[in-house]
Amino acid sequence: MNILFYKHLEWDSKQLGISCGRITSNGILEESDSAKLLDDFKGLIHDNRAVDLITIKLPSTFRHVMEGLIKSHARFIDTELIFKLNNRSNLKVLCDVDIVEKCNAEPFIPLATGFNYSRLFLDPRIPKIKAEELWANSIRNHCLGKADQLAIAYSGGLPAGLTTINYLDPKRINLHIVGVLKEFQRRGIGRSLLSKIIENYGGKFDIFVEASSMNTNAIKLYQNSGFVVDTIQYVLHVWPVNIFES
C-alpha cells in the first residue's frame, strides 16, 4: 500500500507561474523504518523531477527523514506549529465582530504584505511580489466564498481584522487566515476575533490554527486566547528541476 502521495497544486502553479506540487504521507506518525521512508520520498521526488517546486510537510517525529532530505534534495523552510483550542474560559471581545459568509475583500488586501512567515515568503527562490500576489488572491477568494464563514472585526466602524473559518469535517474547523490591518494592531483586535469565534464555535467544534515557529506575535496571541500546541511539523521545499539538471 502506498504511504506517500504526490499531488499537483494547480492553484499555486497558476499564481506563482511555476509547476507546484506537494508530497503528503498517509497518516504516518512514526518513522519506524527511516531508511526505507527516506528512499520512498527520494523516489517520489525523482518521479516528479519535472516539477519546479515540491512542498513537503513532515511530522516532527520524522527527524531522520528530514535530515536525509536536506542532505540530498531539500531546503528547510520552517517549523510549523498547529494549535488546538484547549480553554474557552478567558474570552475578551473588545470590539464589534460579525460572522458572515462573504464580504468585500478590498479592505483586507493589505494583509497580504504582512504574511512574512509563510513558506512562500521564507523561500528566497520565490519572488516576494509573487508571494504577495498569491496571498492577495487567496484573501479575495476566501472573502468571496472559498471560506465557509468569515469573522470581521471593526474599529470605529471601519474593517480592522479578518479571520477565515473552514470546516475540516463535522467536528473540526480550521482558521486559515488570521490578520489585523497594520493601522489597527495592538488594540486587541486579534484577541477579539478569536474570542468571538470561540464563543460561537468552541462548544461544537475542535478549532485549529497554524503558526510559524518564528511568528512570536501569533504564537502569543493564540496561547493567550486558550490554544495549545497540538502537533509540530517541518516544512521543506524541493526544487527538482534544479537538482536533476545540475
Q: Name the more confident of 10 and 30.
A: 10
pTM of this prediction? Answer: 0.93
Query: Look-up: residue for cell 488594540?
Result: 187
Q: Rounded to an integer, what distance in angstroms lies between the CA atom of residue 115 and that of residue 218?
A: 11
CB 22 within 8 A of CB 9: yes
- pLDDT for 245 beyond 70: no
* Ordered DSSP codes for the chain: ---EEEEE-HHHHHHHTS-EEEEEESS----TTHHHHHHHHHHHHHHTTT-SEEEEEEETT-HHHHHHHHHHTEEEEEEEEEEEE---S-----SEEEEES----GGGGGGGGG-TTSHHHH-TTS-HHHHHHHHHHHHHHIIIIISSEEEEEEETTEEEEEEEEEEEETTEEEEEEEEE-GGGTTSSHHHHHHHHHHHHHTTTSEEEEEEETT-HHHHHHHHHTTEEEEEEEEEEEE-HHHHHH-
Q: What is the pLDDT of residue 76?
A: 97
Find the mean pLDDT for residues 187-199. Answer: 96
Which three three-digit cell numbers place residue 54? 515540491
What tens digit of pLDDT does each residue of 111-142 get? 999 999 999 999 999 999 999 999 999 999 99
- pLDDT for 246 beyond 60: no
Q: What is the pLDDT of residue 106?
A: 97
Find the mean pLDDT for residues 52-79. Answer: 94
Q: Rounded to an integer, what distance in angstroms lies between the CA atom of residue 215 and that of residue 209?
A: 13
- pLDDT for 1 beyond 50: no
Q: What is the pLDDT of residue 31?
A: 64
- pLDDT for 224 beyond 60: yes
Domains and CATH numbers, the chain: 4-79+233-245 (3.40.630), 87-225 (3.40.630.30)
Find the mean pLDDT for residues 39-50. Answer: 94
Q: What is the pLDDT of residue 187?
A: 93
- pLDDT for 33 beyond 90: no
Convert 24-34 to b/e letters by CB count within 10 Å (16 or more is b). Answer: ebeebeebeeb
Q: Rounded to an integer, what distance in angstroms lies between the CA atom of residue 106 and that of residue 122?
A: 25
